[in-house]
Chains A and B, each alone.
Chain A
Amino acid sequence: MEIYIISMCVVAGIYAVMALGLNVMWGMAGLVNLGLVGSAAAGAYTSAILTKTFAIPIPLGIMAGAIVAAAVGAVLSLVTRRLKEHYLAIVTLGFAETIRIVASNEIWLTNGTDGISGIAGPFRADLTPFQYNLVYLGIVLLVLLGLYVCCQRISYSPLGRVLRAVRDDDMVVSVAGKNAQSFKLKAFSIGSGIIGLAGGLYAHYTSFISPDLFVPLLTLYVKLSLLVGGVGNNRGAVVGAALIILILEGSRFVVPFIPYISPAQGAAIRELFLSATLLIVLRFRVTGLIPEPHDHPVIPRPGTATAGTSIKAF
């Protein structure tokens, strides 16, 4: 039971990392990306193949995975440069499916639908399962903390300001002398890179990946996390991810107490809990549990003692 709880915390941490990545793209720059799972798969497969075939150290493998995912994200951004909103959403959804189908069919590289097993985990051989889970939780939390700090810095930087401006009106951004396209590309590759890193973390944790892990539902869970937590808020991304995993996994223990339902119906009811959460949040707190801050000062402004906190939305 302890192992189960720790392992759920690890999963929540990995979701939180992905939600942070999504926040850079969607929360800050307003770019709808339904292809998150494609970036995660790119990161996971890259790291798994590199560490297995070339026996490179795990951290390097995960970094390589993040870089590949960022590069793939950059290409995706270039391909979709004329698209916005729904059109962008559909193409990115197709991108993720493409990655999954490539992973299923390029057997020489990915071992096809059988997946890759026996992916190395840090100190796995020397530790009991309990210790291993605990160590991995520590690693994930450290990575999450580091990325959270990075994302906060991006948020409160001139770069973050341009990204939020792109979200509102990219035409005016270009009249302001910034190449809006290159900022979209930055947002896409930073976000995809972070999500690729999360994919790598997942692969080395479970030691097994296969194409059917990377289904669109995963993208929706991450998106839901950010939506519930607060689009545009890094803290919201982390809290939202934790909450979604809590509901998703916690409902497992509630279902047996619901009378007159079959196990299959029970499994369906867990999705119902998620939808209900989404509806409740959207009805009563449309900006999420922790809404985006009113403004993002890079440095305090002279003349305002409490710059940036003078008017708080909530």
Chain B
Amino acid sequence: MLEISGVTRNFGGVHALSGVDLTVAKGGIVGMIGPNGAGKTTLFNCISGVLPVSSGEIRFQGTRIDGMRPDEISGRGLVRSFQIARGFPRLTVFESLMLYGTDQPGEGLIQSLMRGKASIDREKQLIDKALGIAERLRLSHVLDNKASDLSGGQKKLLEIGRAMMRDPAMLLLDEPMAGVNPSLVREIGERLVTIASEGVTIVLIEHQMDLISRLCDHVIVMADGKKMIEGTFDFVAGNKDVQNAYMGSRK
């Protein structure tokens, strides 16, 4: 579904990505782990078009997407979240969800001036969808709060909710559970499993190993801007190099 071959990205002299080759098959939750600075977030940035790649090729559902604008990539059903929750502090939670709605003709000038039927009808559909997503992510009671008033955990939930508004084929989630309290972490985890069971492929960057072992069918380990190894969690966790690079060597 997602094929990455030979992707590099340099920042000045620093090679944040030095030749990443990996393939993500359709379905399930894929974990992406690796020490800080391994290039996980940079890879997400390159896939989502936020950063151009220095070289290499990225294909999504067979189409080459490197070089496309972020909105074009998002329009193809590949949607990402941000590690440090980014969003629209001066919009309400509800408006933030609605913003991610697809195919709203009311975003054109004429439709907005005429309050055209097409845009009002679409708005109704999007409202239903947003309310459903808010319900599932337990955001219903904060819909009218400004996004900036949310707690860190709720912001993470909102990031997932916004992405869900686009009916994504693939979700790239950058540490959706960092800084979230444990009971909410369990909840988010369950939501992700449900979302994945509905046919959305999820790539998850995460540092909590118990989560990765519980949620992910397949784990990719990144180190030094490259893919180090991939496989099931147990296979990966048993690897000596991974233990040295990431989990701390046991004596």
The residues of A with any CB-CB pair to B shorter than 8 Å are 150, 153-154, 157-162, 164-165, 167-169, 171-180, 183, 186, 190, 294-296, 298-299, 301-304, 310-311
Contact = CB atoms under 8 A, between A and B. Distances in A.
B220 to A, nearest CB: 22
A301 B131 contact: yes
A157 B144 contact: no
B106 A158 contact: yes
A157 B106 contact: yes
A303 B131 contact: yes
Interface stretch (B26-34, B86-94, B235-243): B86-94
Interface string B141-157: 00011100000000000
Contacts of A304: 144
B71 A177 contact: yes
15 contacts: A158-B119, A159-B108, A161-B95, A162-B99, A165-B88, A173-B71, A173-B99, A175-B50, A176-B71, A177-B166, A294-B144, A294-B146, A301-B94, A302-B127, A304-B144
B123 A298 contact: yes
A179 B131 contact: no
A161 B99 contact: yes
Interface of B: 48-50, 69-71, 74-75, 79-80, 82, 86-92, 94-96, 98-102, 104, 106-109, 111-113, 115, 119-120, 123-124, 127, 131, 144-146, 162, 166
Contacts of A157: 106-107, 111-113, 115, 119
Contacts of B75: 177
A167 B96 CA distance: 13
A296 B89 CA distance: 14
B50 A171 contact: yes
B69 A174 contact: yes
Nearest to B75: A177
Nearest to A30: B90
A154 B107 CA distance: 9
Nearest to A174: B70
A223 to B, nearest CB: 20
A186 B88 contact: no
Nearest to B146: A294
B95 A296 contact: yes
A234 to B, nearest CB: 14
Nearest to A186: B109
Contacts of A183: 107
Q: Which of B75, B106, B144 has the most CB of A within 10 A?
A: B144
B71 A179 contact: yes
B112 A299 contact: no
Contact of A164 (B88, B109, B124, B127): B88
Contacts of B99: 161-162, 165, 173, 176, 178
B92 A294 contact: yes
Given A153-B113, A177-B75, A295-B144, A172 B90 contact: no
Contact of B144 (A165, A176, A310): A310
A208 B106 CA distance: 40
B92 A169 contact: no
A150 B113 CA distance: 6
Nearest to B88: A168
A129 to B, nearest CB: 36
Contact of B91 (A161, A178, A298, A311): A161
Given A169-B86, A190-B109, A161 B98 contact: yes
B123 A299 contact: yes
A85 to B, nearest CB: 16
A169 B87 contact: yes
A175 B79 contact: yes
Q: Which of A161, A162, A169, A175 has the most CB of B within 10 A?
A: A175
B71 A154 contact: no
Contact of A168 (B49, B90, B131, B166): B90
A70 to B, nearest CB: 11
Nearest to A149: B113
Contact of A159 (B98, B107, B120): B107
B31 to A, nearest CB: 22
A172 B82 contact: yes
B165 to A, nearest CB: 8
